[in-house]
Amino acid sequence: MTIAATSPVATVPRRQLPPGRYRLTDLMRSEWTKLRTVRSTMWTLGIMVVVGIGVSALATAETRAHWSTMPPPTRLGFNPVSTSLTPLFFAQLAIGVLGVLVMSAEYGTGTARATFAAAPRRVQVLLAKTAVFGVVALVVSEVTAFLSFFVGQAMLTAPARHATLATPGALRAVVGMGLYLCVISLLALGLGTILRHTAAGISVFVGVLLVLPLIARALPNSIYNSVLRFLPAQIGIVIITNSSRAHSFSVWVGFSVLCCYAVAALVIGGALLVSRDV
């Protein structure tokens, strides 16, 4: 270090710094403040809850209204659990948008500069976001899944068949759907980190969930049958129908595959976060 010839007029007394260095918990506190101080959080989560419960109520009410005219085989095959949970496949778009925004908004607004100046160890920032957003997403997803289930079942009055949490497999389907939504939203966070752009992140997210199944369906049957099980949408369907289906993973294997997608997106995002300029 070179010491300049002209010395400063005065020197700032060395202030007492906190011991150690900034920790993950500090960044998590910061991320929690970020998440709760923008409107998009309330909007997207609100939409998810309202759409999930609302569409579930509509779908089950519809079934109830036509119950008496339904052919017996349809009645027999009717699954009250999955009917009340299917609407959450629409609701997942809302929480996915929030997942993308948690990172892409930093770049869109320029906040990323301030964020990474405060915490130059960028992977820690991603970990803090994953932890804070992950917990929020899990709580809201489970609440939405349970409410959709209860509201849906309440609509299915006799003579229509309804389920309770005691119905075999029902609890697993409801909890599983909440977990599915949470992991999907973390996949979205990973995409947002990789792409750093809100519109691009949302497009890819929607593409993975809605367009990939359409593309897969256009493939020859043999290929379709072998790729179907890997599609997030198919994994979700297995979770809520709680049945082993042809060309699909079982519930928890499927869920593990889904987790791998989210982890892969977050790991790639983390690696890019370190290697790219902010």
Partner 1 sequence: MIEARGLTKRYGDKLAVDGLTFDVRPGVVTGFLGPNGAGKSTTMRMVMGLDAPSAGGVTVNGRHYHDLPWPLHEVGALLEAKAIHPGRSARAHLQMLAQANRVPGRRVDELLELVGLTSVAGRRAGKFSLGMGQRLGIAAALLGDPDVLLFDEPVNGLDPDGIRWVRNLLKGLAHEGRTVFVSSHLMSEMALTADEVIIIGRGKLIAQRPVGDLLDQSALGFVRVRSPQMDRLVAALDAAGASVTVEDDGSASVRAMGAAAIGDLAADVHAVLHELSPQSASLEEAYMELTEDSIEYHGGQPVGAPAGGIR
Report how far residue 272's alpha carbon sits from residue 24's, in angstroms, rounded to the nearest whole number.
Answer: 20
Exactly one of 58, 66, 74, 120 binds partner 1 (CB under 8 A); that residue is 120
Instruction: Identify each DSSP E strand in 116-184 by its residue range.
Output: none
Q: 150 in helix, strand or coil?
A: helix
- Nearest approach in angstroms of CB 6 to partner 1 is 7
Scan for tokens 């976060």, then name that residue. Answer: 273
Exactly one of 57, 61, 105, 143 binds partner 1 (CB under 8 A); that residue is 105
40 is an interface residue for partner 1 by CB under 8 A: yes
Exactly one of 21, 168, 220, 246 binds partner 1 (CB under 8 A); that residue is 21
Distance of CA 268 to the CA centre of its chain: 17
Using only C-alpha atoms, the chain has a radius of gyration, in whole angstroms, of 23
CA neighbor of 178 nearest in space, from 152, 206, 205, 140:
140
116 is an interface residue for partner 1 by CB under 8 A: yes
Give the range of 27-35, 51-59, 212-220, 254-262 binding partner 1 by CB under 8 A. Answer: 27-35
- Nearest approach in angstroms of CB 242 to partner 1 is 40
207 is an interface residue for partner 1 by CB under 8 A: no
278 is an interface residue for partner 1 by CB under 8 A: yes
With 0-12 CB in 10 A as exposed, 13-18 as middle and 19+ as buried, what is 176?
buried
Give the range of 46-54, 75-83, 104-112, 255-263 binding partner 1 by CB under 8 A. Answer: 104-112
Report how far residue 141's alpha carbon sits from residue 178's, in angstroms, rounded to the nearest whole number.
Answer: 5
119 is an interface residue for partner 1 by CB under 8 A: yes
164 is an interface residue for partner 1 by CB under 8 A: no
Residues in Cβ contact with 46 at an 8 Å cutoff, skipping those fewer than 6 apart: none
Contact positions vs partner 1 (CB under 8 A): 1-2, 4, 6-12, 15, 17-18, 20-22, 26-27, 29-31, 33-34, 37-40, 105, 109-111, 113-121, 277-278
